[in-house]
Structure 1
Amino acid sequence: MKKYMELLILTVMLIFSTSSAFSMTLKIATLAPAGTSWMNEMKKGANEITKRTDGRVKLKFYPGGVMGNDKSVHRKIRIGQLHGGAFTSGGLSHAYPDIQALSLPMLFRSFDEVDYVRSKIDPLLKQNIEDNGFVLLGISEGGFARILSQARLTDLESIRKSKVWIPEGDQLVQSTFNTLGISPVSLPVSDVFTGLQTGLIETVTVNPTAAIAFQWHSNMSYMTETPVIYIIGTLAIKKKVFDKLSNGDQAIVRDEIDRVFKRMDIINRSDNQKAASALQNQGIEFVKPTENELTRWRQLSDQAVKTMIASGSFSQTMYEVVNRHLTDFRNR
């Protein structure tokens, strides 16, 4: 009887220790407001993960920037208050500079180019970032960012006279604007609306969906037709945390988030097209620089990237890989 009780106690202890070892709630911050397509899809994915892992893995989201800007989120990840976040490429560039490969200025001219290059580059980015301490569970399209402004801006001279916003800590955008001769105002995303209201800034580079979601369009009159930067959204988890999950649960999380991000690629492209139409219907005039001006922008943007490469902020190897795939597509 004594041996039976000892065996029973040992069995119970093993059951509890095993279940607790693999049970985790991943706490994830995002700037995306509650109720947006991104949040709705992520919640669906989170529910599927919980269901498929029998409750061992849960995802808890903190939307709307309640955890602060990217800098604050990364600090909270370091101390364990958070386990990951949804970031643009700029938000992850300090950990892995080449994550900006898809968001180089004036890189893409069409969605066909985007789709081809991403099919080659996405797997490479996911693989390489793990050597830098993060697991990149998904990359989704944020869309083409365009210049949204209070004044009509179709050349560099007029842009240089405007108060232009750039995201706080985004070295790629900072370098690009410096090369273009633009003196930008650096602010966290959470402060942009107030900055527009007070006149601290007059011009932003943003995709149509975000312009409406954050209400940045309310005092604006013009948006460029020409895409300036292709924005990506990512979901990154600290690798040390993710590695605590069992191999089976890791596979489930990767699979479900991958499904979500594939859906988001489709949804975001459609949402941006609808948002662009909505902006036009609300009186925003879409303007286009001349071909000569666009050539000038592209040349200076390429100089900015080369400056980043020279400073070690972006790798020559990744630059060559991206351009090789882009050239291959354009020569087809």
Structure 2
Amino acid sequence: MTQFSFAATALAVGLTLAGAATAQEYTARFSLDVQEGNPKYLAAESFANAVSEATDGAVKIQLFANGLLGGEVESAEGMRLGSIQGGIITSSVFATWVPEVQVLDLPFLFRDDAHAVAANPVLSERLADKFEAQGFHLLGFSINGARQPMSTFPITSPEDVKGKKMRVIQSPIHIALWEAVGAAPVPIPAAEVYNSMQTGVVDFFDNTATNYLTFKFFEVAPYYTDLRHVYAMGTWVVAKSWWDSLPAEYQAAITEAAASAQAEVAPMLAEVDAASLAETEAQGATINVIEDKQPWIDLMEPVWAEFAPKIPGAEATIEAVQAIE
């Protein structure tokens, strides 16, 4: 081999290795707690494809569904440790690090789906620095689903839930909002909801429309009430350490792709929810839509007075969200 050909070969190998290192450096393990086909997964898939296309394949978002990388808390911790680079995680999971997100659990913060979607840029702008300080880069929010009462009895007004045992998530705000309407909240882990309803430990609980079908909740809670008192929000985040390693043009591409994908979630979710509820109705469930929510809002108003002052920056965030038309 001539000196020239040896040098050329060495250069080619060096460029190949450099390319491989670059590709590996910009690969993100992206954690999702839902199965393939779920609107959140489909939006993440759209996001990953858009990022790959915009960066000519230099940034690869690898999706791990079904909690394969761990639960939501473990995934958030993994981002801080660097073992996971991103994910879509329920906002309340971040309350330990970013207490400001607790404002999203206040009852009737959002008027409807459109309002929750429109709040994304407002919330992102207000909370980005708070996430950054805790090792996360915030890409925005999307709707995981609205919480809806599911019960063994019909619910048409707050009067119907007085004295009834309500399964709640282990959150002071959620306990307080159901106490405010006269129910008797019982904190129970998610995995025990079906059995608790089946055995009469509780009379009702709240969850999302899709889960009403997926987890066969309609079998033990034949009455579904469309109230939308709290929206579960998915938080799109990546590890700050990984984000900081990216060139600025790749950061811009990821930001744009995330915003576009987040906008896809709500219409997909509405379609899936409608189909899910139709299927439960076909199997005997009763669906009731609360048209006048004001009695519920009035009774839950004290929860705002009690908790908003305890949440950093809540007053300004609430004002900004309510100003959205």
- Tell me which interval the TM-score lies in, with the shorter structure as reference length: 0.7 to 0.9
* Aligned residue in 1 for 2:305: 306
Aligned-partner Cα distance in 1 for 2:69–2:81: 13
Count of residue correspondences: 323
Q: Could you tell me how far 1:3 is from its partner in structure 2?
A: 11
What is aligned with 1:63?
A: 65
Single out whichever of 193-202 and 221-230 deviates more from structure 2: 193-202
Amino acid at match of 1:96: V
Paired residue secondary structure (1:106): coil
Partners of 1:225 and 1:79 lie apart in 2 by 40
Quote the residue 2:214 is aligned against. 213
In 1, Cα distance between equivalents of 2:121 and 2:79: 30
Closer, same or farther: CA 253–282 of 1 in aligned 2, 3 Å: same
What amino acid does structure 2 have at the position aligned with 1:319? I
Between the aligned partners of 1:73 and 1:181, the Cα distance in structure 2 is 36
Q: State how 1:100-115 maps to structure 2 within 5 Å.
A: 100-111=102-113, 113-114=115-116
SS at 1:227 equivalent: coil
Measure how far apart 1:46 and its partner are.
1.9
Q: What is the aligned counterpart of 1:80 among 79, 82, 97?
A: 82
Contact conserved, 1:166 with 1:185, CA < 8 A, in 2? yes
Q: TM-score, normalised by structure 2?
A: 0.79
Measured after TM superposition, the shift of residue 105 of structure 1 is 0.6
> How many angstroms does 1:304 deviate by?
1.3
8 A Cα contact 2:152 2:223, kept in partner: yes
Q: Letter of the 2:213 partner, please give it.
A: I
How big is the shift at 1:156?
A: 4.7
Distance 1:274 1:239, change over 3 A: same
| Matched residue SS, 2:242 | helix
Give 1:10 shift.
8.1
Q: Deviations over 1:303-325 (max 9, x none)?
A: 212222333466222223223x0
- Name the stretch that deviates more: 220-229 or 80-89: 80-89
The answer to which of 114-123 and 100-109 deviates more is 114-123
TM-aligned CA deviation for residue 279 of structure 1: 3.2
Q: CA deviation at 1:222?
A: 0.8
* 1:151 partner SS: coil
- Give the superposition deviation at 1:179: 4.5
SS at match of 1:263: helix
The one-letter code matched in structure 2 to 1:53 is T
Shift of 1:269: 2.5
The corresponding residue for 2:278 is: 277
Q: How far is 1:264 from its partner?
A: 1.6
Provide closer, same or farther for how the CA distance between residues 306 and 16 of structure 1 changes in structure 2, counting only shifts above 3 A.
Answer: farther
- Pairs within 5 Å for 1:150-229: 150-156=152-158, 158-159=160-161, 161-168=163-170, 170-180=171-181, 182-193=183-194, 195-197=196-198, 199-229=200-230
Structure 1 runs (4+) deviating above 6 angstroms are 1-8
| Alpha carbons 1:101, 1:322 under 8 Å: kept | no
Determine if contact 2:80/2:136 at 8 Å carries over to the other structure.
no
CA distance in 2, matches of 1:267, 1:290: 23
> How far, CA to CA, are the matches of 2:262 and 2:117 in structure 1?
14
Structure 1, unpaired ranges of 5+: none
Counterpart in the other structure of 2:242: 241
> Secondary structure of 1:33's match?
coil
Q: 3-state SS of the aligned residue for 1:152?
A: coil
Query: What is the root-mean-square deviation of aligned Cα atoms in Å?
Result: 3.6
Work out whether residues 161 and 182 of structure 2, in 8 Å CA contact, stay in contact via their aligned partners in 1: no
Match of 1:133 in 2: 135
Match of 1:89 in 2: 91
1:265 is the counterpart of 2:271: no
The C-alpha deviation readout for 1:136-195, integer Å capped at 9, x for no partner, is: 223222343211112234455653544433334x45424434545544343454554455
Match of 1:30 in 2: 32
1:56 and 1:110, CA in 2 relative to 1: closer, same or farther beyond 3 A? closer
> TM-score, normalising length from structure 1?
0.78
Q: Distance in 1 between matches of 2:60 and 2:194?
A: 33
Q: Secondary structure at the match of 1:234?
A: strand
The match for 1:250 is 251
The Cα of 1:21 is off from its aligned counterpart by 5.1
Cα pair distance change 1:296/1:266, threshold 3 Å: closer
State how far apart, in whole Å, the 1-side matches of 2:163 and 2:68 are: 33
- Alpha-carbon distance in 2 for matches of 1:285, 1:296: 22
Q: Relative to structure 1, is the Cα distance of residues 301 and 124 closer, same or farther in structure 2, using a 3 angstrom cutoff?
A: same
Are the structure 2 counterparts of residues 121 and 311 from structure 1 closer, same or farther at C-alpha, using a change threshold of 3 Å? closer
CA distance in 1, matches of 2:233, 2:136: 17
